[in-house]
């Protein structure tokens, strides 16, 4: 892939933001997932850059954007996106978000409806599942300081290997490494007070989402991700849920041409 991208940075009130840009035409703003950064969108943008003006941001606290020592929240990311779009005079726009980026995109559209033509959300975060607080407690323990979880699991690993039961422990240790790779995502998703996270969840607000919205969800994704996408679709008449039978959680990377085709058709039909 050899796209003639323009890489840029801008200083905003919350910190410096980095983005990749290419093309001309209707404006597409790409917001990456929880454990990624803007490069995850490059395979999709390759299929869209002839017809659209594409902007792929590193969210504040991620990738090459500044990582200031702030108390991160979805609202902070929404306000940072607002300042970014205002500074570049980008309006109206289509927001395309994956996972955490989908939560931020939907939150933005709920607050700044007149600036958004439509949403494409891929396996979005941002709604409450049964047992969610238990999952938050588990994730907090897994990445906690001091690293009690890591010490316990590492001490159990030799015996588990002797018994042939080491794979679950190794998978948990891999999960811990992934979580630690993005401290900002950890703070946004589970390392805040539960009441604060719940106040930013969207299931009770989606009925007010008045822009055309397409959700793309892989059928081979985790059951929790599928359940979240279904909650989105059930709570807003504006949302169309499209299940991708052979897709998992990494649709932008694994099926970029298909994702790009869905985005193109969505924008064309929304005009």
Q: How would you classify the pairing of strands 6-12 and 15-22?
A: antiparallel
Q: Check if the beta carbon of residue 194 is closer than 8 Å to that of residue 133.
A: yes
* pLDDT band at residue 39 under the 50/70/90 scheme: very high
* pLDDT band at residue 174 under the 50/70/90 scheme: confident
Q: What is the CATH number of the domain that holds 94?
A: 3.40.50.1820
- Ranges of beta strands (E only) in the chain are 6-12, 15-22, 27-31, 53-57, 93-98, 116-122, 213-218, 239-244
Structure confidence at residue 255 (pLDDT) = 98
Number of domains in the chain: 2
Structure confidence at residue 141 (pLDDT) = 87
* pLDDT band at residue 1 under the 50/70/90 scheme: low
Domain containing residue 140: 132-185
3 state SS of 59: coil
Length of the chain: 271
Structure confidence at residue 226 (pLDDT) = 98
pLDDT at 148 over 90: no
Query: Please, which residues have CB within 8 angstroms of residue 253's CB and are 6 or more apart in sequence?
Result: 40, 43
pLDDT at 222 over 90: yes
Q: What's the gap between Cα 103 and its chain centre?
A: 6
Structure confidence at residue 80 (pLDDT) = 98
Residue 161: inside a domain, yes or no? Answer: yes
Structure confidence at residue 210 (pLDDT) = 93
Structure confidence at residue 47 (pLDDT) = 97
> Do 181 and 120 lie in a common domain?
no
More confident residue, 59 or 160: 59
Other CB atoms within a 10 A radius of the CB of residue 13 amount to 7
Q: How many percent of the chain have pLDDT more than 70?
A: 100
> Do 235 and 114 lie in a common domain?
yes
> Do 217 and 177 lie in a common domain?
no
Q: Tokens representing 3?
A: 């796209």
Q: Model's pTM, two decimal places?
A: 0.93
Q: Tokens representing 146?
A: 């001091």
**Which burial class, exposed, middle or buried, applies to 197 when counting CB atoms under 10 A from its CB (0-12, 13-18, 19+)?**
buried
Considering only CA atoms, which of 190, 232, 196 is closest in space to residue 105? 232
Considering only CA atoms, which of 12, 143, 172 is closest in space to residue 85? 12
Residue 209: inside a domain, yes or no? Answer: yes
Give the model confidence (pLDDT) of 106-117 as tens digits: 999 999 999 999
3 state SS of 55: strand
> Do 97 and 13 lie in a common domain?
yes
Q: Which helix (H) or strand (E) holds 166?
A: none
pLDDT at 178 over 90: no
Structure confidence at residue 147 (pLDDT) = 79
pLDDT at 166 over 80: no
């Amino acid at each position: 892939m050899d796209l003639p991208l323009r890489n840029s940075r801008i200083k905003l009130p919350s910190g410096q933001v980095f983005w990749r840009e290419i093309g001309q035409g209707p404006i597409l703003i790409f917001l990456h997932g929880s454990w990624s950064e803007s490069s995850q969108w490059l395979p999709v943008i390759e299929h869209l850059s002839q017809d659209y003006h594409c902007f792929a941001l590193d969210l504040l606290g991620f990738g090459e954007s500044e990582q200031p020592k702030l108390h991160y929240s979805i609202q902070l990311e929404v306000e940072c996106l607002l300042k970014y779009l205002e500074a570049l005079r980008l309006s109206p726009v289509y927001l395309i978000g994956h996972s955490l980026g989908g939560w931020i995109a939907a939150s933005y559209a709920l607050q700044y409806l007149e600036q958004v033509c439509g949403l494409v959300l891929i396996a979005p975060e941002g709604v409450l599942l049964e047992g969610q607080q238990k999952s938050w407690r588990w994730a907090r323990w897994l990445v906690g300081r001091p690293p009690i979880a890591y010490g316990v699991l590492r001490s159990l690993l030799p015996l588990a290997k002797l018994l042939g039961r080491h794979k679950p422990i190794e998978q948990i240790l891999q999960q811990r490494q992934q979580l630690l790779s993005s401290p900002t995502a950890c703070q946004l998703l589970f390392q805040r007070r539960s009441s604060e996270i719940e106040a930013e969840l969207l299931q009770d607000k989606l009925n007010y989402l008045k822009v055309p919205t397409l959700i793309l969800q892989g059928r081979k994704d985790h059951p929790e991700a599928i359940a979240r996408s279904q909650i989105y679709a059930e709570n807003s008449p504006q949302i169309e849920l499209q299940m991708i039978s052979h897709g998992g959680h990494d649709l932008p990377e694994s099926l970029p041409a298909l994702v790009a085709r869905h985005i193109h058709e969505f924008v064309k039909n929304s005009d």
